[in-house]
Amino acid sequence: MARQSPGRRNADDPDADEVGDLDILDDDGSDDPEDPAAEDDDEADDEVEDEEDEDARDPAIEELWADVGIDPVEIALPTGSGYTLRAYRSADELTPTEAGEEEEDDPFETLSRRRAVDEDDDTVVFDDDFAERASGRRERDDDLDGDSGEEEADDVVDDDADAAEEETEEEEEEAEAEEVPVFLSHRGKLLVFRSPESLVEFVRSGEEHDMAQLSSWADLKQRIRTEDVDAASADTYELDLVVDNLRGGHDAWDADLIIKAGEIARDLGYALRLDALLTALSPGSPLDDLDEALRASAAGGIGGFLGRRRVKKIGAQQATLGWRTIIGKISGAVVWRE
């Protein structure tokens, strides 16, 4: 059935003459060519199209990064911004990065170990007669109980061994299927380049780094050009803005900014073996609760309403301090290349 224009009079309607004058305008006035609201909508559409055009990359660039399975990443930190590379591979295909410097032992742990050794040294040793009598008594008890309990013990051991073997196989299968991040890094340090030219120069060089183990690295080394170092909007992270945004209070919080910061922080924590980052963003932590609440609020609907309520309950000062620590850890793990 064809839809009748709201500005068109219905000849079959007996009251058309009475209401005809009111039907000339649409509810939003969109039929008026000089209506300001219609012009604003057109301008908004043009802005969205312009943003999409800016995000779109050259097809040749897209093809290169799709072929090698690696993506350029642009990251901004308080000390500056630059470019690096990231890829995702199965865990069994990668050798984890080497830790740069070993952390010193916790003095409290050292003290606990020393006390345990001292307690072992204070063990009381009884005389030989007492030891012989105790040994003989244990042998007689073992002879009485050994035959009856031996079969049951063997069954329990076999069952435990089978269960442990099945659990190990399941864990290995999960680990093989899981994809983990790897960055352009070396000895636990992230290599970030101030310009696309310096990144391309490094890729073409023979310097050691963790991405050299990727099967597609040789292909990238031959094909990469300066103009190819163009990070997509999804791979651009403004960590330098996170703390200031959180300081602005709940109403000023930028959900997309903070959620993306959490994504890159988790990837860097895993790839660079920064346990402090993984702990701070682990499930159930305050910053993880913030992340979940912001994701829910951005989703809209009833879930978005509940998410916004959860966001209001999160302490702004706690979130600010937590993220300042995380960004400080990331900054300390970066090696800048000019």
Q: Convert the pLDDT of each residue in 52-96 to its tens digit.
A: 555 678 899 999 999 999 999 999 999 999 999 999 999 888 888
Whole-number pLDDT of residue 130: 41
Whole-number pLDDT of residue 114: 46
The pTM of the full predicted model, rounded to 2 decimals, is 0.63
Q: Is 254 or 117 the better-scoring residue by pLDDT?
A: 254
Whole-number pLDDT of residue 125: 42
Whole-number pLDDT of residue 159: 62
Q: Is 158 or 31 the better-scoring residue by pLDDT?
A: 158
Q: Is the pLDDT of residue 337 over 60?
A: yes
Q: What is the mean pLDDT of residues 41-56?
A: 54
Q: Is 52 or 249 the better-scoring residue by pLDDT?
A: 249
The domains of the chain are located at: 62-102+180-337, 107-178
Structure confidence at residue 242 as a pLDDT band (50, 70, 90): very high
3 state SS for the chain: CCCCCCCCCCCCCCCHHHHHHHHHCCCCCCCCCCCHHHHHHHHHHHHHHHHHHHHCCCHHHHHHHHHHCEEEEEEEECCEEEEEEEEEEEHHHCCCCCCCCCCCCCHHHHHHHHHHHHHHHCCCCCCHHHHHHHHHHHHHHHHHHHHHHHHHHHHHHHHHHHHHHHHHHHHHHHHHHCEEEEECEECCEEEEECCHHHHHHHHHCCCCCHHHHCCCHHHHHHHCCHHHCCCCHHHEEEHHHHHHHHHCCHHHCCHHHHHHHHHHHHHHHHHCCCHHHHHHCCCCCHHHHHHHHHHHHHHCHHHHHHHHHHHHCCCHHHHHHHHHHHHHHHHHCEEEEC
Tell me the pLDDT of the chain averaged across its residues: 75
Q: Convert the pLDDT of each residue in 166-210 to its tens digit.
A: 666 666 555 456 899 999 999 999 999 999 999 999 999 989 999
- In percent, the amount of the chain with pLDDT more than 90 equals 46
Q: What is the mean pLDDT of residues 3-14?
A: 41
